[in-house]
Structure 1
Amino acid sequence: MALALVVTLGSLSAQAQTKPRPKATAAVSVGTASYYAEKFHGRKTASGEIFDNTAMTAAHNSLPLGTLIKVTNLRNHRWVIVKVTDRLHHANRRIVDLTQAAAKQLGFIHWGLTKVRVEVVSKEFMNSLPYSTLAIN
């Protein structure tokens, strides 16, 4: 019994020394992600920005344009932060359409589709990230 108490106290002190990273958000959705075809490169998006397949952006139907989202590939647990700049076609059942750059980072460029978790990113979460992980345009 005393050994368990010592382990618990040791865990608490170790956790207190490291600052936990804030959660991205409480709003989470899970579904299928795809990526833009090359033919859309250079076209205007719903936000008015010119689409760049090398940028870290996405299309989403219900989130406000300009929203930053964390997209996690549920196959390999890789994640990226992208900005919503466009809308999906209304008949499309996917939850997010990513640039080819984001699909490469997530490791599904060869499959075309993957199951993902999408979370709206808080300012606190963005501020907790190392500068080198931020590639948002």
Structure 2
Amino acid sequence: MASWYGPPYAGRKGADGTVYDQNAMTAAHLTLPMGTMVRVTNLTNNQSVVVKITDRGPFVHGRIIDLSLAAAKATGVYRAGVAKVKVEAFAAPVRANGDPGGHWCVQVGAFARESDAIKLKEEMIRRYATAKVIEFPGPTGHWVRISPKLPNKSNATEVADSIHPKDPAAAPYLIRTD
């Protein structure tokens, strides 16, 4: 499923450090490397667009990509709000050894209230003393993330698979942070 993001994020920096332009053909994805070019096809109307991954998200279970306003309008996702899509990566930054590389962490929760984020952060620190647990303000609230000592994809996956927070609303997501 794809969704879109627009006006509230206009002018804010994305995860790649560029300023979000809702009229550009860009998107947010949890794990694809920054700069990856992908074709997104709306399976309802077969409309497609090529976008560049410039941000991280979506942080909603079951969604795989957040489109910019322009990309959402071009594919018909804008009116529906969400749509089933096919995502095809066809140009990613190349690494010589084929390793997915990058720095990875696990996002455990996103909260509107800072006090809720701090509570989960403290619980995660108790459970994962060897990992770095961070809480910081995100674009729409406060995020809690766990970064393994060696923040590669394999270690982050192990951490994500072992997380069972007491808060049933908290769901671990693997995130590439570079």
Do these two structures clear the TM 0.5 threshold for a shared fold by scoring above it? Answer: yes
**Partners of 1:68 and 1:117 in 2: CA distance:** 14
Q: 1:92 to 1:38 in 2, by over 3 A?
A: farther
Q: Give 1:4-83 correspondences, 5 Å limit.
A: 32-83=1-52
TM-score by length of 1: 0.63
Structure with greater contact order relative to length (CA < 8 Å, sep ≥ 6): 1
**Partners of 1:103 and 1:89 in 2: CA distance:** 14
Match of 1:97 among 66, 80, 97: 66
1:106 aligns with 2:58: no
Q: Deviations over 1:38-64 (max 9, x none)?
A: 100000000000000000000000100
Q: 1:89 to 1:103 in 2, by over 3 A?
A: closer
SS state at 1:69 partner: strand
Larger radius of gyration: 1
**Partners of 1:38 and 1:96 in 2: CA distance:** 17
Contact residue 40 and residue 85 of structure 2 kept, 8 A: yes
Match of 1:121 among 90, 99, 121: 90
Q: Give the structure with the larger strand fraction.
A: 2
Instruction: Report the Cα offset of residue 37 of structure 1.
Output: 3.4
Q: Which runs of 5+ in 2 are unaligned?
A: 93-178
Contact residue 58 and residue 65 of structure 2 kept, 8 A: no
Partner of 2:173: none
SS state at 2:54 partner: strand
Identity of aligned residues (%): 48
**Partners of 1:89 and 1:118 in 2: CA distance:** 14
**Partners of 1:83 and 1:66 in 2: CA distance:** 6
